[in-house]
Structures are given as structure tokens and as C-alpha cells.
Amino acid sequence: MWIISRTLVNKILAHAQRSLPRECVGVLSGHGREASDWHPLTNVAEGDHTFLADATEQIRLFKELRAQERDVVAIYHSHPRGSASPSSLDRELAAYPDALMLIVGMETDGRLEMNGFMTRDGTLEAVELTIRD
């Protein structure tokens, strides 16, 4: 079970909305499967249909987290015109097997959904998310 607070979910959704029409990307840190902090990153991908976190920002963040003995719990991104399920590119780029891949789907007007996926035997499988108030 993966635990994310309502506050963090709201920060991710707000980040996804203000990044439109582009995808957003960011990290949740914490311990094990419980996320407690939010770290938005800059999407430097060309075009609006994918994401690539700014490498300098990402390396700096991962170093900081390691120094603080915190884990990268989840890496999130949004699909401005798609559902909250992995694209074929997401399946190829699932580069952090220990971190949860969170996807925000924004295809439905005014209704956002968020799903989590983990790599298992080379494929991404949906996992259960617990949102805590």
C-alpha cells in the first residue's frame, strides 16, 4: 500500500493544471511507501506530449534526498489530453524500478484522476494508492 496525503495530491494536481498544455513532472519524497514532501521539476522535453525532468535539478534533488536519508517515493507526470494510464513511451522509460510512477489524467474536463504504477517483471502494473487527509 502506498500512502500519499491529500495535501500532496492537491499540489500535484495544481502543478498539472498550471503546466497546461504541457505535461508536468515532479518527485514525492519520504520513507518507504509513504510520501511526505513534494518537489516539482522543470519539464524540458520538446513538444507537449512527453516529459523530461531538467537533469541538473533532478541530480541536485536526488543528492539532497540521499544526504537527508530520504527516499524517492514517487515520480509523477501528467497527461494533458490523456488518461491516467502509462503511454507506450512511459513503459519504455520506467527507469526507476523502486519508485512509484504516478500519472495524472486530464482528458475529462474538470475531473482529474491519478493512478500509480510499479514495474514488475519488466511491465508496469497498477498499484493501490491510499490518499490520507
Residues that bind Zn ion (CB under 5 A): 87, 90
23 is catalytic: yes
Long-range contacts of 16-22 (CB under 8 A, 24+ apart): 16/78, 16/80, 16/104, 16/106, 16/112, 17/106, 17/112, 19/43, 19/78, 19/80, 20/80, 20/106, 21/48, 21/80, 22/48, 22/51, 22/80
Shortest approach of Zn ion to residue 101 CB, angstroms?
8
| CB of 35 or CB of 101, closer to Zn ion | 101
* Closest chain position to Zn ion (CB): 90
Shortest approach of Zn ion to residue 120 CB, angstroms?
18
| CB of 5 or CB of 43, closer to Zn ion | 43
